[in-house]
Each structure stands twice: as C-alpha cells, then as structure tokens.
C-alpha cells in the first residue's frame, strides 16, 4: 500500500460536496498506465498497435478489476473501440493520404511514457532525500513578556505622588487684558445728540472707523439709556440699522 500513500483510498467519496469518484489502484495510476503495461507485456511496437487485440485485453482487464464504473477507464475503452472501428473501415483504392486513427493515441502514450520516465527520476531523488534529515524548522512562538512585580521604594512612590499632585493643582491662569469701555462717555454723546435731534441713526452716533471698544461702549450706552427710559430703540426689519428716538413719554415724566 506504499504506492497509494498520498492518494485517497480506492473508491472513496471525497467529503467535499464535489463528490468526485476517485478510483486509484496500487497497480495502475490511470488508463494510460494500464494501456502501456499491456503494450509492454505483449511486447508490441507502440507505433503499430494491434488495436483490436489491445482493446479486448483492455476491456477484459477493467472488467476483471471491477472498474466498470470508473469513467476514466471506460472513456479509454470507448476510445479504443472507436479506433478499432475506424481501422475496420475500408480504404478507398488509390487514396494516398491515410490518417492513422491510432496516431493521437500513440502521441498520448508517448507523452505519458515520458511522464513515467520523469517519475522514475523523481522517485529516485525523493527516495534518496527521504533518508536524510534536516533540522526541522519549528516556528518560535512569540512570548509576550509578563510584567514583573513593581519594584519601587516608598520615598520614590511618595515623590511621584507629589509630582502628580503638584501638576494637578497648578492653576490655569489667563492673562486678562483690561479693555477700557467708556460707557459713560458714550451716554454723554448720545444724550448730547438727542438734545439736538429727536431721531438719530446708529451710524450718526458712531464715529467713522470706530474701534471695537467704541462700538461696544455705544451699544451698552444705548441699552442703558433705553433702560432708563430716555430713548427708544427700533429696528424696522431684521438686520436693518436700528433707529434711536427720544422717548417723549420718559421726558414728559
């Protein structure tokens, strides 16, 4: 059974869903092998195979081997019978070119014979190599180092804690730049303006190229005065400049 060490045991269904029927004999590795051995046994010229005799022997062999169900062997049997039939066909008189129906089979047999020769070479080499042993390469499993016990003295630990606490306690300081807002000044400006006019626009009170602090001072002044009831603020529509008007009711009061 050495010869079938690798191949599946005879007549087994492969477990994978493909359901390939593997027919493997210790004696023959395929129909071509069987055919070649018949040719060898009968000492037949491979270029001039008596096809009827070989076909009959082939059929006899595969039925005695109970290989009838093996498609590969049956296919070869059918091929042989077909070639035999072709050989029996009468050839016309004076037909110069006659294609031997066996030519393809001969070509395949020779090709296969060559494969067998290479197999002999491979077999010798592998047999020689099988008897020599190399140091097996065993993959090193990577050991992730387990961290050992923490080695630290009490003073070290305490100073570490101290460092952490100092870092944590450090206050987050902002430098706040005092911005001078002159709300009172702005109130004075607005009051002076409204003393002259009963209505004014935002842009009338604001100097051209006003600084942000001036804008903010004016806004706060207007809101302050509105709160005091000295003026009214009105915006005719969204995003429009608002209008300032003297609050007559407040004045009256």
Partner 1 sequence: MAKHADDGETTLDSALAELRDHYDSDGHGVELIEVAGGWQILTRPEYTEAIERAQLAARPQRLSAAALETLAIIAYRQPIGRAEIEEIRGVGAGAILKSLHERALIDIVARGEGLGRPLLYGTTPSFLEQFALRHLEELPRADELAIALRAPRPATPTSVPAVKDNGEAPPRAD
Binding site for partner 1 (CB under 8 A): 2-8, 14, 18, 20, 22, 24, 29-33, 47-48, 50-53, 55-56, 59, 72, 75-76, 81, 84, 87-88, 90-91, 95, 98-100, 102-103, 106-108, 110-119, 121-123, 125-135
Of 121 and 173, the one with the shorter C-beta distance to partner 1 is 121
Of 14 and 159, the one with the shorter C-beta distance to partner 1 is 14
Q: How far is the CB of 140 from partner 1 (least distance, A)?
A: 19
How far, in Å, are 12, 57, 65, 126, 177 from residue 26 at the CA level?
14, 19, 12, 19, 99
Q: How far is the CB of 21 from partner 1 (least distance, A)?
A: 8
Q: How far is the CB of 141 from partner 1 (least distance, A)?
A: 21
Q: How far is the CB of 164 from partner 1 (least distance, A)?
A: 54
Rounded CA gap, 77 and 57, in Å? 10
- Is the four-CA dihedral 104, 106, 109, 113 of positive or negative sign? negative
Rounded CA gap, 186 and 68, in Å? 115
Of 25 and 186, the one with the shorter C-beta distance to partner 1 is 25
Closest CA to 215 of 223, 198, 228: 223
Of 106 and 200, the one with the shorter C-beta distance to partner 1 is 106
Closest CA to 110 of 50, 37, 36: 36
CA dihedral 38, 59, 4, 113 (to 10 degrees): 40
Q: How far is the CB of 167 from partner 1 (least distance, A)?
A: 54
Of 83 and 187, the one with the shorter C-beta distance to partner 1 is 83
- Is the four-CA dihedral 84, 86, 88, 93 of positive or negative sign? negative
Contact 222, 231 (CB under 8 A): yes
Of 103 and 241, the one with the shorter C-beta distance to partner 1 is 103
Phi, psi angles (nearest 5°) of residue 117:
-65, -40
If you write DSSP's letter for every residue of 182-205 in order, what string do you get?
Answer: -HHHHHHHHHHHHHH-SEEEHHHH
Q: How far is the CB of 41 from partner 1 (least distance, A)?
A: 17
């Amino acid at each position: 059974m050495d010869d079938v060490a690798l191949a599946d045991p005879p007549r087994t269904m492969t477990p994978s869903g493909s359901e390939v029927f593997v027919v493997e004999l210790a004696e023959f590795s395929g129909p071509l092998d069987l055919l070649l051995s018949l040719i060898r046994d009968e000492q037949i010229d491979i270029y001039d195979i008596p096809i009827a005799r070989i076909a009959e022997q082939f059929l006899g062999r595969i039925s005695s081997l109970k290989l009838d169900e093996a498609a590969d062997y049956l296919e070869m049997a059918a091929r042989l019978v077909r070639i035999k039939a072709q050989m029996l066909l009468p050839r016309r008189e004076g037909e110069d070119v006659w294609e031997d129906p066996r030519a393809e089979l001969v070509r395949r047999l020779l090709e296969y014979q060559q494969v067998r020769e290479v197999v002999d070479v491979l077999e010798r080499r592998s047999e020689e190599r099988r008897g020599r042993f190399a140091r097996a390469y065993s993959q090193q499993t990577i050991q992730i180092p387990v961290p050992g016990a923490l080695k630290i003295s009490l003073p070290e630990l305490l100073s570490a804690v101290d460092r952490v606490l100092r870092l944590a306690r450090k206050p987050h300081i902002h430098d706040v730049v005092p911005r001078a807002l002159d709300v009172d000044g702005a109130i004075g400006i607005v009051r002076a303006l409204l003393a002259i006019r009963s209505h004014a626009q935002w842009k009338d009170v604001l100097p051209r190229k006003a600084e942000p602090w001036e804008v903010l001072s004016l806004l706060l002044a207007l809101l302050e005065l509105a709160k005091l009831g000295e003026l009214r603020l009105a915006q005719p529509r969204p995003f429009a400049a608002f209008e300032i008007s003297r609050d007559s009711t407040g004045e009256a009061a």
